[in-house]
Amino acid sequence: MRTIEWIDGHIDVVDQTALPQQRRVALHAASDVVEAIRRMVVRGAPALGAMGALGVALAAARSAELGYDPDAVRTDARRIAEARPTAAHLRWAVQQVLPVLPRGPEAVLAAAQAVVDADVRACATLSRLGAALLRSYVGDRPMVLHTHCNAGAMACVEWGTALGVVRALHADALIKMVMVGETRPLLQGSRITAVELAGLGVPHQVVVDSAGPSLIASGEIDAVIVGADRIAANYDVVNKVGTYPLALAAARAGIPFVVAAPSATIDLDTPTGAAVPIEYRDPDEVLLVGGWRMAPAESGALNPAFDVTPADLVTAIVTEARVIEPHARPDGQVNVAHAVTVPAMRRSGSLDVRAI
Ligand code: MRU
């Protein structure tokens, strides 16, 4: 079943704040959509795109009940697009459906469904492409991957991006272990990624975020695979806070750092990662654990939700359309950080994109 669906005139979604408990909620108005995005009932870049598109369709459907007013829908669309600032998908998906507003609610819904269906197809394709890429880097043997946050079906509509790649590798018995960063403060790794991997029967272990870099340094990890919330035109990657240290460690260890994301994640209007608005969330997400305060009453907290991994630390970005190796060397070998040249990073197999 899809994590986000249009059912009988409303949006039906998995409530990701409740996970690992399974609960679905119904959204009936644009204000419900804005609230669900802000509270992270729905989260993850492609899922936010699906919500954005269907949210505009919902606004159009409600408006039609009172005498259809495209301008009122446009106002709702703007509020939805601004509900979270960092992921490129939310704004992008809203923009995809806005041009059909004058044609009425049914046309808006059809355009929104097309955005959702395209995302499902993109995730399935990039997952196969990413699996082939990792095989070409690591070799045809069961591998140990490290991931962060949740880039699985919950973060999308079906299948997932980084976890879609894991799923495709698992289908070929090529996953030995997935290390899952728990992803403080909201624990998307342990609450969502681990649940998805358990459901798929993929061997995995949850680790505290601060263990990631040293695990990579230990030589036990074959590659890091993550999703992305936005990729700038220069291929800087914005993803869940805690991604950047993993990329630094991967470069130092000479293992691939691979980003799996639909091409809509690449925002050509954002020149570099420095131009991406990083969301700062409520300090209480850091200070309180399970409702208990973990720091003195006098202590404040800073809660950036994302960080920027510079393009020079990115081995490859896999979209449904292509593999981008920002710093591939002219001799066809793959590098990681510009300063690092490690035999382990030499591609051990061939990647034929046309065969995927
Ligand atoms: O704050 P979140 O949980 O919405 O952040 C999500 C992430 O950072 C994911 O890693 C990213 O969206 C990739 S999802 C396919």
For the stretch 196-208, pLDDT in tens is 999 999 999 999 9
For the stretch 101-150, pLDDT in tens is 999 999 999 999 999 999 999 999 999 999 999 999 999 999 999 999 99
User: Are 4-118 and 127-341 in the same CATH fold?
Assistant: no
Confidence of residue 338 (pLDDT cuts 50, 70, 90): very low
Backbone angles phi, psi at 91, to 5 degrees: -65, -45
Mutate to test the pocket of ligand 1, among 229, 231, 238, 320 (most ligand atoms within 8 A of CB): 229
Q: How far is the CA of 115 from the centre of ligand 1 (A)?
A: 18
User: Is the C-alpha dihedral spanning 106, 111, 116, 120 positive or negative?
Assistant: positive
Domain coordinates in residue numbering, the chain: 4-118, 127-341
With beta carbons less than 8 A apart as the criterion, state whether 179 and 204 touch: yes
Residue 157: closest CA among 10, 4, 52: 4
**Per-residue b/e over 218-251, b at no fewer than 16 CB within 10 Å?**
eeebbbbbbbbbbbbeebbbbbbbbbbbbbbbbb
CA–CA distance, 191 with 55 (Å, rounded to integer): 26
pLDDT at 327 over 80: no
Q: How far is the CA of 286 from the centre of ligand 1 (A)?
A: 17
Atom of ligand 1 nearest to the CA of 161: 15
Mutate to test the pocket of ligand 1, among 182, 239, 279, 306 (most ligand atoms within 8 A of CB): 239
pLDDT at 355 over 60: no
Residues labelled catalytic: 229
Mutate to test the pocket of ligand 1, among 89, 126, 159, 240 (most ligand atoms within 8 A of CB): 240
Report residues whose beta carbon is within 6 angstroms of any ligand 1 atom: 43-46, 87, 149, 151, 155-156, 161, 188, 227-229, 239-240, 305
For the stretch 285-303, pLDDT in tens is 999 998 999 999 999 999 9
DSSP 106: H
Residue nearest to atom 8 of ligand 1 (CA): 240
In the sheet that 24-27 helps form, which strands lie side by side, from edge to edge? 4-7, 10-14, 24-27
What does CATH list as the number for 127-341?
3.40.50.10470
pTM: 0.93
pLDDT at 340: 38
DSSP 299: -
Architecture of domain 4-118: Up-down Bundle (1.20)
Atom of ligand 1 nearest to the CA of 46: 15
For the stretch 172-189, pLDDT in tens is 999 999 999 999 999 999
% of the chain residues with pLDDT over 70: 92
CA–CA distance, 233 with 329 (Å, rounded to integer): 20
pLDDT at 330: 57
